[in-house]
Amino acid sequence: MLLDESMKVFADITGLNVLVFDNEDHKSLERADQLVKEAYAAIGGEYEELISVKETGTDLRIVARPAGDGFIRDLVIVGEDDGEFVFVNVNGKIDLKKLGCL
Task: Please write the tens of the pLDDT for every residue from 23-49.
Answer: 777 666 677 778 888 888 888 788 898
Residue 97 confidence (pLDDT) above 70: yes
| Residue 74: Cβ-neighbour burial (10 angstroms; 0-12, 13-18, 19+) | buried
Which of 101, 39, 51 is closest to 72 using CA atoms? 101
Helix (H, G, I), strand (E, B) or coil at 29: helix
Domain 2-99 has CATH 3.30.1330: no
More confident residue, 27 or 78: 78
pLDDT of residue 27: 65
The pLDDT confidence band at residue 102, using thresholds 50, 70 and 90, is: very low
